[in-house]
Chain A
Amino acid sequence: MSNDFAQFQAAFFEEAAEHLAVVEEGLLELEQHPEDLDLLNKIFRSAHSIKGTSGMFGFNAVAQFTHKMETLLDLLRNGQKAVSPPIADLLLKSTDCLKTLIESVKTGAPVDDAAVQRLTSELASASAAGAPQPPASELTTAIDPAQSGDLTKTYVITWTPPNWLFQRGLDPLQTMKELRGLGELTKVTLDVSRLPHLTDIDPEQCYLAWELQLRTEKDSKIVEAVFEFVREDSQLSIQQVSAKEADKGVQSQSVSTATPMPTSEMDGPKPIGQILVEGGVVSSSALDHALAQQKRVGEILVEQKAVTPQQLEQALQKQRQQESGAHAKKADTASIRVDTAKIDKLINLVGELVITQSMLSDLGARFEMSQLHVLLERVAQLERNTREIQERVMSIRMLPIGTAFSRFPRLVRDLAAKAGKKIQLVMTGEETELDKTVIESIGDPLTHLIRNSADHGLELPEERLDNNKPEMGTIKLNAFHEGGSICITVEDDGRGLNRDKILAKAIRQGLISENDKLSDEQIWSLIFKPGFSTAEKVTDVSGRGVGMDVVKRNIEGLGGTVSIKTTLGKGATFTLKLPLTLAIIEGMTVRVGRETYIVPLLSILESIQPKEGSVKTVVGKGELINVRGTYLPMARLYEVFALEPEHKLATKAILLILETEGERVAVMVDEILGQQQVVIKSMEQNFRKVEGIAGATILGDGTVGFILDVRGLIEIARQETAMAA
């Protein structure tokens, strides 16, 4: 049955992830407000949803585990058990476990079965301590072997439905039809004895009763199943009679109305083994033994020499490949959930675009020069439409950053508990929207920064009290828009970065020499060097010397920057500045000869026209330019890309000072044209990687413009100097 529904699995995983987040956040909040019933209900509902839906896909391990969690949650919300720290802890651990179980059905990743078992029994015992367990299954019953014959039988059914039958939307006619579907209704007698006087009749009540005779090959359980929804509220008797006795009346083999019906009836014929076991002919262990001796088709064929063992092995391998192929397929389909309001708005805009377009076609068909102003007006309208649609389409990929933040309360709680510190996490700006890809990629760097703050930044409670600080340390996580970028700050009120310690360590590691004069910023940026860590002891949280460099690399990979502000003893603030989206950048168009290039605006510090004599050629260092006393390496763009420029003299040309990752370079161009948003098209995907070029874009006049890769230009300038040397 799952096959039809396979297409909904991706939706399930997404939904499950949301529910897991609700459960986790809810549990964390519950620790603060154990009495909050609404919260408990919300958590329960989410767990319940995961259970119900996972069962639909046959993810039984997930369904069963969630069932255990749900049982405990149910006791909590019914007030049969109180929320205590150990229970909250157990539920949080179970949530983690559930996460891995779901991940495992999604990707096939292995699961720690022992851990699942342990938690399952912990959940069970936590639930058992408070109240009796609900019965595991209410629907098991043995089938009376005498009933399993397949001869035509005659049943006499007497049915007096409850008089509120109609009020539950039930229709006795439907029941008759369903019975007729099982066989032949040989006799239907209506009993009107309960019918009151006409004046007393409530037309919405059912006063009727029936006696029916049904000839069918079906089991009495199936006949009874027809009455499934009214059985408990009706007077119902279903009795099997012999064909001869059918006319006379009722005899023998009455079926109690209270017998539950087996659920398996609907799933087609049972395997023969099961029928034999149920009929008491063989024991189930005898059946298992017999089944174990059963040979696989392949083995039999090999014995009969129909296939060679090699052929069999090949076929088996093929089967395995198909299995693993099916596995791989289900692994990852990226999807996004979009607010319908956003889509509606977009559809509206597309409608407007169509109108503008038809207005333009209309105008084009009978255009006269006198209508030029109308044309310009319509083109302006088209421009407006396009810009708005662009913005709206971009916003479809935008998600609130809160989705990335949601894991941190738990993280901070666990870190604080582990380190014996008191830490509160304050989050603001969760609603700030940014690109889905960016959100997915900043999770890890942010986690590291928060770990870093919790572990290195914040002091132990005693130390904080000694320094006249509140015992509770604070980590503030904030997201906000600034220009075309988004800023995320991780701020703590801990001990701050220690200038001397960092310097000493950097000198010891040979990253700098003792004589280097470094600005504060340069010193702080030392902690982003690979292998750098000042933690005096290595904890299992951080201080393993991996991380800060990875943070920086990840953020720069997204086109962002990391900066640090810190005051010794007061705390530190890490600021991540990220582009809103990866697909569109704000660019400055520049001209070299007849070619147009785009420089990412974020990397431009300033543009200058160098004075006579400020460009120096230094042996071993190539061309350098003196910008207010600092010498920067210089790259002539026309040389890099082998072009014929307008100006070869630096004093006639324009120099753009570009910066990336703290390094600067001066790039020489002929002219600055203007500023515009450009859509990045990948070079690697469409052509191949070209040194010094980050990508291409289509310019307003339809020609292709290249986007400069600042990092690459710095490398090129460096190589040239090396060559010049």
Chain B
Amino acid sequence: MGKTALIVDDSPTMRQMVAFTLTNAGFTVVQAEHGKDAVNKVSVGPKMDIVVTDLNMPEMDGITLIKELRKMASFKFTPILMLTTESAIEKKQAGKEAGATGWIVKPFNPELLLKTIAKVLPA
């Protein structure tokens, strides 16, 4: 596909698993540890086709990150998926208000993750 994905999660294991799933599906993957790291990386890095972010993170949480990204011209319409646990589902609303495109519930099924990405990823 040649698409680039940004994965933001403070858990390296989780990040690697998402990266693994996406890399196998042909994505180029950029990883960030938390919101601040992500903002730093996208400000100098390539354009992203999709962002998958955790919500609970140190430094800058996912909701703030989504708001920050939506402020940038290059991320205005980029699909952003929240990777969230069931209990954090009330955060769905806050995420949507911040500009999140959709969500994936943790623990995730790799096929469902790819399906969900396909759902929001512009051709």
**B57-A45 in contact (CB<8A):** yes
Question: Contacts A67-B87, A167-B99; is A229 near B11 (CB within 8 Å)?
Answer: no
Does A491 lie at the interface of the complex (its beta carbon under 8 Å from any beta carbon of B)? no
Question: Is the CB–CB distance between B12 and A15 below 8 Å?
Answer: yes
A247 to chain B: closest CB distance in Å?
30
User: Cβ of A170: which chain B residues have Cβ within 8 Å of it?
Assistant: 79, 101-102, 120
Q: Per-residue CB proximity of B38-51 to A under 8 Å, as 1/0?
A: 00000000000000
Q: Which of B58, B110, B120 contacts A45 (CB 8 A)?
A: B58
- CB contact between A8 and one of B13, B70, B96 (< 8 Å): that residue: B13
Question: Which of A42, A71, A174 is close to B120, meaning CB atoms less than 8 Å apart?
Answer: A174
A1 and B85 contacting across the interface, CB-CB below 8 Å: no
Bound together, the chains give a CA A98 to CA B56 distance in angstroms of 21
- Shortest CB-to-CB span from A176 to chain B, Å, is 11
CB-contact partner of B89 in A5, A52, A70, A138, under 8 A: A138
Q: How far is the CA of A70 from the CA of B87 in the complex (A)?
A: 10
C-alpha spacing A167/B21, complex, angstroms: 27
Does B94 interact with chain A (Cβ within 8 Å)?
no
Residues of A within 8 A of B12 (CB): 11, 15
Q: Which of B15-58 contact A (CB under 8 A)?
A: 16-17, 20-21, 54, 56-58
* A51 → chain B closest CB, angstroms: 6
Contact of B99 (CB < 8 Å), options: A5, A169, A171: A169
Q: Which residue from chain A places its CB closest to the CB of B21 in the assembled complex?
A: A4
B20 and A8 contacting across the interface, CB-CB below 8 Å? yes
Say if the beta carbon of A534 comes within 8 Å of chain B.
no
A44: chain B residues at CB < 8 Å are 56
Q: Are A134 and B87 in contact (CB under 8 A)?
A: yes
**Interface membership of A501, Cβ < 8 A:** no
**Contact, CB under 8 Å: A53 / B77:** no
A53 to B78, CA, bound (A): 26
Closest to A5 in B: B17
Is A233 in the interface zone, CB < 8 Å from B? yes
**Chain B residues within an 8 Å CB radius of A12:** 13
Shortest distance between the CB of B115 and any CB in chain A (Å): 7
**In the complex the two chains form, is A171's CB within 8 Å of B122's CB?**
yes
Contact A168 B87 (CB under 8 A): no
The B-contacting residues of A in range 149-181, CB under 8 angstroms, are 166-171, 173-174, 177-178
Say yes or no: B14 contacts A228, CB within 8 Å.
no
Contact pick for B109, options A42, A178, A266, CB 8 Å = A266
Interface membership of B72, Cβ < 8 A: no
A42 to B115, CA, bound (A): 33
Q: Does A402 contact B (CB under 8 A)?
A: no
Q: Considering the complex, which residues of chain A in the window 62-103 have a beta carbon less than 8 Å from any beta carbon of chain B?
A: 63, 67, 70-71, 74
When distances are taken between beta carbons in the complex, the residues of chain B under 8 Å from A55 are 85, 106-107
Contact of A167 among B20, B70, B87, B120 (CB under 8 A): B70
CA of A166 to CA of B80, assembled, Å: 12
A51 touches B85 (CB 8 A): yes
Residues from chain B with a CB closer than 8 A to the CB of A229 are 101-103, 119-120
List the B side residues contacting A226 at CB < 8 Å.
119
What is the CB-to-nearest-CB distance from A168 to chain B, in angstroms, rounded to a whole number?
5
**B54, B80, B106, B119: residue with the most chain A Cβ atoms closer than 10 Å:** B119
Chain A 35-53 against B: per-residue CB contact (8 Å), 1 yes, 0 no? 0000000101100110111
Q: Is A113 an interface residue (CB 8 A)?
A: no
- CB of A137 closer than 8 Å to a CB of B: yes
Q: Which residue of B lies closest to A7 (CB)?
A: B20
Q: Which of A111-151 contact B (CB under 8 A)?
A: 134, 137-139
B101 close to A168 (CB less than 8 A): yes
CA distance A52 to B119 in the complex (A): 23
| Given A52-B11, A266-B112, A266-B115; A137-B87 close (CB under 8 Å) | no
Query: In whole angstroms, what is the CA distance A11 to B9 when docked?
Result: 15
Task: Say yes or no for A612: interface residue by CB 8 A criterion.
Answer: no
Specify the chain B residue showing the minimal Cβ separation from A225: B119
Instruction: List the A side residues contacting B13 at CB < 8 Å.
Output: 8, 11-12, 15, 53, 56
**Contact between A228 and B56 (Cβ–Cβ < 8 Å)?**
no
Q: Which residues of A contact B109 (CB under 8 A)?
A: 1, 266-267
Least CB distance from B117 to A in Å reads 11
Docked-complex contact B100 and A168, CB < 8 angstroms = yes
| Chain A residues near B111 (CB-CB < 8 A) | 1, 266
In the assembled complex, which residues on chain B have CB atoms less than 8 Å from the CB atom of A52? Answer: 11, 14, 54, 85, 106-107
CA distance A134 to B85 in the complex (A): 13
Contact of B16 among A8, A42, A233 (CB under 8 A): A8
Does B106 contact A8, Cβ atoms closer than 8 Å? no
Q: How far is the CB of B21 from chain A (nearest CB, A)?
A: 8
The chain A residue sitting closest to B116, CB to CB, is A228
Q: Which chain A residues lie closer than 8 Å to B107 at the CB level?
A: 52, 55-56, 58, 63
> Of A42, A74, A178, which contacts B119 at CB under 8 A?
A178
CA distance A167 to B80 in the complex (A): 11
Q: Which residues of A contact B85 (CB under 8 A)?
A: 48, 51-52, 55
**What are the residues of chain B within 8 A of A56 when measuring CB–CB?**
13-14, 17, 106-108
CB pair B77 A169 closer than 8 Å: yes
Q: Residues of A contacting B58 with CB < 8 Å? A: 42, 45
Q: Quick check: A174 and B96 within 8 Å, CB to CB?
A: no
In the assembly, what is the distance between CA of A282 and CA of B10, in Å? 47
Whether B86 pairs with A8 at a CB distance below 8 angstroms is no
Q: 17 other contacts beyond A5-B17, A167-B70, with CB at 8 A cut-off?
A: A5-B20, A8-B16, A15-B12, A15-B13, A48-B85, A49-B10, A52-B85, A56-B14, A56-B107, A56-B108, A63-B107, A137-B86, A138-B89, A171-B120, A177-B123, A228-B119, A267-B109
29 contacts between A and B (CB under 8 A): A1-B110, A4-B20, A8-B16, A8-B20, A11-B12, A15-B11, A44-B56, A45-B57, A48-B56, A48-B85, A49-B11, A56-B108, A63-B107, A70-B87, A74-B87, A139-B86, A168-B96, A168-B101, A169-B78, A169-B80, A169-B99, A170-B102, A171-B120, A174-B120, A174-B122, A226-B119, A229-B103, A229-B119, A233-B96
Residues of A whose CB lies within 8 Å of any CB of B are: 1, 4-5, 8, 11-12, 15, 42, 44-45, 48-49, 51-53, 55-56, 58, 63, 67, 70-71, 74, 134, 137-139, 166-171, 173-174, 177-178, 204, 226, 228-229, 233, 266-267
List the 3 closest A-B pairs by CB distance, nearest first.
A55-B107, A229-B102, A169-B101
